[in-house]
Structure 1
Amino acid sequence: MKIFTEKTQIQKAIQQIKAKDLSVGFVPTMGALHQGHLSLVQEAFNNNDVVVVSIFVNPTQFDNEDDLEKYPRTLEADTKLLAAFRENLIVYAPSIQDIYDGDAKAEHFSFDGLEFEMEGKFRTGHFNGVGTIVKRLFEIITPDNAYFGKKDYQQLMIIKKLVEKHHIPVTIIGCDIYREPDGLAMSSRNTRLKEDYKKAAPFIYKTLKTAKKKFGTKSANTVKEWVEKEFANHKLLNLEYFIIADDQTLKPVKRKSKKKTYRAFIAVFADDIRLIDNIALN
Structure 2
Amino acid sequence: MKNLNLLMLEADSEISLVLEKLDKYGICVIKNFLSELTLSALQYEFDQVLSAGEDHFNFTTNKNFSYGENGQVAKCKTVNMTEDVKAIKSTFTSDFMRKVAEGYFGVDCEINDDIYLTHDLPSKKQILPWHFDRQQSLKFYINLVNVSKRNGSLEYDIGSHREGHFRANYYVLSGVEIKNIPNDIPAEELHNPTVIAVNAGDLIIFDPDGFHKGGVVSVGYERKVIRGHAHPIPIRGYNSRLFDAHWWIQSCLNLSKILKTRGSRTLPRERLTRANLGR
Q: TM-score, normalised by structure 1?
A: 0.30
More contact order relative to length (CA 8 Å, sep ≥ 6): 2
Q: TM-score, normalised by structure 2?
A: 0.30
